[in-house]
Amino acid sequence: MLPDVPSEPDRRISDAEGYEKLPGRLVRSEGERATGDESVDDAYDGLGDTHRLLVRVFGRDGIDGRGGTLEATVHFGHRYDNAFWDGERMVFGDGDGEIFSGFTQSLSVIGHELAHGVVEQTARLRYQDQSGALNEHVADVIGALVEQYSLGQDADAATWLIGSGVFTEHIEGRALRSMLEPGTAYDDDLLGRDPQPAHLSDFVVTEADHGGVHLNSGIPNRAFALAAIEVGGFVWEHVGRVWYDTLTGGSLDPDSGFTAFRAATLAAASARFGPESREARAIESGWAAVGVETERRAG
The answer, yes or no, to whether residue 92 has pLDDT greater than 60, is yes
What is the C-alpha to C-alpha distance for residues 179 and 105, in angstroms, rounded to an integer?
Answer: 19
Q: Is residue 199 situated within a structural domain?
A: yes
Q: Angle at CA 136, nearest 5°, toward 10 and 263?
A: 110
Q: Dihedral of CA 128/131/137/141: which sign? A: negative
Asked if the model's pLDDT at residue 287 lies above 60, the reply is: yes
Predicted confidence (pLDDT) at residue 134 exceeds the cutoff of 90:
yes
**Residues of the domain holding 278:** 129-289
Same domain, 100 and 134: no
Question: What pLDDT was estimated at residue 297?
Answer: 37
Mean pLDDT for the stretch of residues 223-233: 98
The residue-averaged pLDDT of 27-54 equals 98
**11: CB partners within 8 A, 6+ apart:** 28, 29, 30, 44, 47, 48, 69, 70, 72
Q: What is the pLDDT of residue 7?
A: 84
Single pTM value for the model: 0.95
Instruction: Report, as residue numbers or ranges, the catalytic residues.
Output: 113, 214
- Has residue 11 got a pLDDT over 80? yes
Domain check: are 193 and 263 in the same one? Answer: yes
Q: Is residue 6 one of the residues assigned to a domain? A: no
Same-domain check for residues 95 and 133: no
Residue 3 inside a domain? The answer is no
Q: Residue 3 above 70 pLDDT?
A: no
User: Would the pLDDT of 157 be above 90?
Assistant: yes
E-strand ranges in 65-156 read: 70-74, 83-85, 90-92
pLDDT for residue 298 is more than 50: no
Least confident of 3-7, 110-114, 176-180, 250-254: 3-7
Same domain? 202 vs 245: yes
Q: Do 19 and 89 share a domain, yes or no?
A: yes
pLDDT at 299: 31
Count other C-beta atoms under 10 Å from residue 183's C-beta: 19
Looking at the fold, whether 101 and 197 belong to one and the same domain comes out as no
* pLDDT at site 150: 97
Question: Residues for the chain: how many in total?
Answer: 299
Whether residues 35 and 95 share a domain: the answer is yes
**Does residue 71 share a domain with residue 184?**
no
Average pLDDT over residues 60-69: 95
